[in-house]
Amino acid sequence: MDKPQFKGQKYMKEKETRTLYRLTGVSKRYGSGEIAINAVDAIDLEIEDGEFVVIVGPSGSGKSTMLQLLGALDRPSGGRIEFEGRDLQALGDRDLAGLRSKTLGFIFQQFNLIPTLTAQENIEIAMAPRKLASAERVDRALKALERVGLLDRAGHLPSQMSGGEQQRVAIARALSNQPDVLLADEPTGNLDSKTGETILTLLHDLWADTGLTIVLITHDQSIAAKAPRVIRFADGRIVGDDRTFTSGREPETVGAGNE
Ligand code: ADP
Ligand code: MG
């Protein structure tokens, strides 16, 4: 019998990998009758804590639907999604909202910045549900901007920034809530390939430097080629799931006795 596992409990101290997501027979059906479509079709999947997972596949294959399910932005029509051992289906709207704002970070193709707010204000407003002291909010916003290399743009409006800079602000906004998981849906889709490359490098560095788990949908074949794990979607199903061990975050020096 599976016991629910929550952060902070003893098992967290163990070095071995930990299952973050466990999906069993997960489906998402749109419409009904003749025109019903299984955008996600009976998927079984496990994602370990700290993985960098890239999802690729043709347009309409269910990638975004899958990410919405992982992000608890939508509920599956069938099957079971466990996150950190908790069945998401059993969580009420309030718990799901808490999960989305505290544990999960989102990045989309559209940067979704508020045009009348500065970079810093856009980040601060995203922390509103957290009810932090204002000094803490400012501190987090500036640290997040620094992390994405945009401290000098804190007072700029979105219209005064390039697309790549706006996406970096969106990444900083996601980071400011100190999430455990970053879910990114084609974050380079609106950027030229060179700028897109810098965004993907930034995400990769963030992953390598922290314990963050990243699930990234991309059309970019070069990032897919470099990713530690690539899941291929077609017609709502997983048709490929390849792990390589060449570009992992494994540190060169692991603590003694950690064999
Ligand atoms: P991808 O991100 O791989 O392009 P999506 O997850 O957006 O694929 O879509 C998968 C399928 O589900 C597509 O056939 C799409 O038309 C359909 N779909 C997605 N969202 C909806 C929706 N809200 N209502 C009806 N059909 C949808
Ligand atoms: Mg999509």
Q: Is the pLDDT of residue 33 over 50?
A: yes
- CA-nearest residue for atom 1, ligand 1, is 60
Q: Is the pLDDT of residue 3 over 60?
A: no
Q: How confident is the model at residue 252 (pLDDT cuts 50, 70, 90)?
A: very low
Distance between Cα 218 and ligand 2 center (Å): 9
Q: Listing from the earlier edge strand, what are the strands of the sheet with 213-217?
A: 104-107, 181-185, 213-217, 52-56, 229-234, 237-243
pLDDT score, position 8: 39
pTM: 0.88
Report residue 200 as tokens: 């993907």
* The dihedral sign for the CA sequence 25, 29, 32, 35: negative
Atom of ligand 1 nearest to the CA of 61: 3
The pLDDT tens digits for 197-250 are 999 999 999 999 998 999 999 988 777 788 899 999 999 999 999 998 654 555
Residue linked to tokens 């500065």: 118
- Around ligand 1, the residues with Cβ closer than 6 Å are 30, 37, 39, 57, 59-65
The pLDDT tens digits for 139-191 are 999 999 999 999 999 999 999 999 999 999 999 999 999 999 999 999 999 99
Cα dist from 113 to 60, 136, 189, whole Å: 26, 21, 16
* Rounded-to-5 percentages of helix, strand, coil across the chain: 35, 25, 40
Q: Is the pLDDT of residue 73 over 70?
A: yes
- What is the spatial distance between Cα 197 and Cα 220, in angstroms, rounded to a whole number? 9
The pLDDT tens digits for 116-136 are 999 999 999 999 888 889 999
Q: What is the CA angle 227-229-232, rounded to 5?
A: 105
